[in-house]
Amino acid sequence: MDSVKGLVLRSTGSRHEVLTDEGVISCTIRGKFRLQEEDATNPVVIGDRVDIQINNDGSGVIVERMERHGKLSRRAAGRKVGREHVLIANLDKAWVVQSVRKPRMNPGFIDRFLVMAEYRGIEAGIILNKMDLMDERAEDYIAFFVELYSGLGYPMMFTSIETGEGIEELRSAMDSGIHVLVGPSGVGKSSLLNALRPNLELRTGGISESTQKGKHTTTYAELVPIGALRMDAGFIGDTPGLREFGLVDIQAGELSHYFVEFRDHLNECRFPNCTHDHEPGCRIKELVDEDVLAVERYESYINMLRSVQLGDQDVGR
Ligand SMILES: Nc1nc2c(ncn2[C@@H]2O[C@H](COP(=O)(O)OP(=O)(O)O)[C@@H](O)[C@H]2O)c(=O)[nH]1
Ligand SMILES: [Mg+2]
Ligand SMILES: [Zn+2]
């Protein structure tokens, strides 16, 4: 039987909604294929590219999964310690969302996020939301970090749900590939997703007035299209559990490699295994003293180094 190429949009237990050129098809997974994936807790997740066969009744069966790139995972809860639980496959870009105020921009959170993105080889960007709340007190603080992160090469977007500032620019930045929004609660992730999501009510149908007015809460994983629902559209992956974008698996000795501006100087320290902490002849500390490297980033580095050394790997606290 001929198979059709698809993209997994939603995953709810054993049912997978797969987008194909012929529309969205509700699929199960072929048992044999599932058995081949013993190492993963979930053989098919949102973002997976799959081959499906279409049944006579219009439903489908996933018969093959393409190799994944840029996956995002957390350690699985349950018996097997360290088992990987993939949340989203084929992630192209992760955006950390922060707000100008309420809550105030948190560079420590941003740095942890950037380190994780560098470690996983995922492109990273920064969204600064609630631009309408900018005031004189916030201005200098924010301007400093905007210059810092832009200087490191991370793209920055400036948005406001209140005024609509930056929303179309953000939509353009996401018009292809699979993206996620990561950030502490209250910064406006759900608001941004809803602003970018076209025709939510039309698509889900039959939802009550009160639900429409209420906050969108994530109870299942899905890819939300930015614009028309097509296989080559841009998508935002919305999945519970993204908070645990932790420092999983990073060793103290390699942490500095994920601070992009440290990289060029790592072999200039006196000791090859320098952790840039207390060691003499540390070039990184020298460059911080000379104001070549930002002390704010160095402090983030030291905080993360302590977390990694203590085995405390949570992000964003
Ligand atoms: N002033 C202002 N408030 C915003 C903006 N975006 C979101 N909010 C508000 O911030 C609160 C938290 O937003 P929410 O989207 O739930 O944040 P999340 O926890 O990151 O998903 C809500 O009361 C929103 O109405 C913005 O651009 N400006
Ligand atoms: Mg939310
Ligand atoms: Zn050093």
3-state secondary structure 159-196: CCCCCCCCHHHHHHHCCCEEEEEECCCCCCHHHHHHHH
Which ligand has the shortest distance to the CA of 134? 1
Tell me 233's DSSP state: S
Q: 265: CA distance to ligand 3 center in Å?
A: 8
Full set of structural domains in the chain with CATH: 4-68 (2.40.50.140), 93-244 (3.40.50.300), 252-310 (1.10.40.50)
| pLDDT number for residue 13 | 77
| pLDDT number for residue 177 | 96
Q: Which of 58-67, 119-128, 306-315 has the lowest mean pLDDT?
A: 306-315
For the chain, the distance separating the N- and C-terminal CA atoms, rounded to the nearest angstrom, is: 52
Q: 287: CA distance to ligand 3 center in Å?
A: 10
**Cα separation, 116 vs 137, whole angstroms:** 30
Residues around ion ligand 2, judged by CB within 5 A, are: 189-190
Task: Summarize the confidence of residues 7-28 as an average pLDDT.
Answer: 93
Q: 123: CA distance to ligand 2 center in Å?
A: 22
Task: Summarize the confidence of residues 153-161 as an average pLDDT.
Answer: 98
| pLDDT number for residue 81 | 53
pLDDT digits (tens, 9 = 90+) for 158-207: 999 999 999 999 999 999 999 999 999 999 999 999 999 875 444 443 33
Q: Tell me which of 12 and 5 has the higher pLDDT.
A: 5
Which ligand has the shortest distance to the CA of 273? 3
- 107 ligand 1 Cβ < 6 A: no
Tell me which H or E stretch contains 78.
Answer: none
Q: 93: CA distance to ligand 2 center in Å?
A: 19
Q: Which residue owns the Cα nearest ligand 1 atom 28?
A: 130
pLDDT digits (tens, 9 = 90+) for 249-281: 788 999 999 999 999 999 999 999 999 999 999
- 160 ligand 1 Cβ < 6 A: yes
pLDDT digits (tens, 9 = 90+) for 22-68: 999 999 998 777 666 555 667 899 999 999 999 999 999 999 999 99
Which ligand has the shortest distance to the CA of 301? 3
- 162 ligand 1 Cβ < 6 A: yes
